[in-house]
Amino acid sequence: METTLTRKHLTFRGGVFIVEGFFHFCSARSAVINYQKTSQGGERKMKWKKWVTAALSTALLSTVVLSGCSSSEGTGGENGQAGGEAKSEGYGAIAFYSPETPDMTKEIGQKFEKAFSGSTVNVQYGGTNVIVNRLIAEKDNPMGDVWYGGGGFLPFESAKSKGIITSYTPEIAKDWPVVQNGIQIRDKDWKWIGAEVFVLGFIYNTDLVKPEELPKNWDDLLDPKWKGKIQMSNPAASGTATLTVLSQLMSRGEEQGWEYFEKLVDQVSALPDSGSAPSKAVAKGEAHIGIAFDFMAYEMKAKGEKVDFIVPEKTPVIVNPVSLVANGPNPEGGKALIDYLLSKEGQQTLADWYHIPLSNEVESKTPLTLEKVMPHAQELDVEWVVQNYDRVRNEWRQKFQ
């Protein structure tokens, strides 16, 4: 039986909106703006119903609920401004979906607000696959403007056929080739554009692992001495882990690839949903080795943690992209945020967080550069990924969950 949802069904307590027993985390300002917009005009009830339906669909599809973190609430100055002299007029409210480090995406939002007075960047954090599920749930009534990051470009390639991202050619990238220095840096139809380079490898605790013991390749993780001492994230939720599985199936073939993971899963002590969780476990000494991206290790090392990073002999070296959400509420704001992320200032912010920037105007703050890691790059079959991305994730669930 259909229930008509109206304002009386909505209760706000402690930053949580509760609707008929469901819950959906979002920023207070974002939700109030959405309600105010849908409370005007003759289509009020219909639009309000669509808004709540999208929120509930997201909550039901996601095992992890996205936390909204508006830059206008605690990250910027009054009226969403971060202070300082703006370069141009603002772009209004921009919904920024990302699985990347929350403090980093928050900083990107702050700096954009400072550059464009009158803009408000609402950062929505969640695991890669959670964000994809949310975008699919919201497809008929999109609430996001920009999707940035996801363990490399493979989730973006898979998302192209789902109609949740759309083409955009930034002025700064208009002359970029599809492939540069041996890696794909943008989609041929401009559905995504690379913002930085990630290297998949092994973070290790320098107090627990001796230099002579370090694994040099993926097979070394199966050594009995590492049993119960490894963590990797859950491919059902994490883009980092999904890339791990896809890359091994591509390099070994599916039969031998799944046999590899049956052995590897027996070695690991935990399969957390977050792609950053294995790195945190290594830093705490809860694991000796974690499967992670390079920047996770170098960011922690810079903070004084006893960790370092190993680039395996052959491993994914892959750009991490940004995309414009299809039919989002603020496309001009979304385009401006993408432009900013690719600008020298945006690239510097990524470099400051120990990501390898694509811009040759900005230096990497880690020992790794594109030139150094390219000899380790594994060839990836993008067409195979597009055809098998969802199937592989589902097969993982059937085998290991």
**How high is the mean pLDDT of the chain?**
82
Check: CB of residue 356 under 8 Å from CB of residue 364.
yes
**Helical segments of 188-253, H only:** 239-252
The Cβ of residue 44 has, within 10 Å, a number of other Cβ atoms equal to 15
Residue 25 pLDDT? 34
Please report the pLDDT score of residue 224 as a whole number.
Answer: 97
Contacts of 283 (CB under 8 A, 6+ apart): 205, 300, 305, 306, 307
Percent of the chain with pLDDT over 70: 78
Q: What is the pLDDT of residues 111-162, one digit of tens each?
A: 999 999 999 999 999 988 899 999 999 999 999 999 999 889 999 999 999 9
Return the amino acid letter for 346. G
> What is the pLDDT at residue 88?
52
pLDDT exceeds cutoff 60 at 5: no
Residue 155: its H or E element: helix 154-160
What fold, for 199-317+376-400?
Answer: D-Maltodextrin-Binding Protein; domain 2 (3.40.190)
> Is residue 56 packed enough to be buried (19+ CB in 10 Å), middle (13-18) or exposed (0-12)?
middle
What pTM does this model have? 0.74
Helix, strand, or coil (residue 262): helix
C-alpha torsion sign, points 72, 74, 78, 82: negative
User: Is pLDDT above 50 for 42?
Assistant: no
Considering Cα of 274, then 380, then 354, then 195, what sign does the dihedral take? Answer: negative
Q: Where are the domains of the chain?
A: 1-61, 199-317+376-400
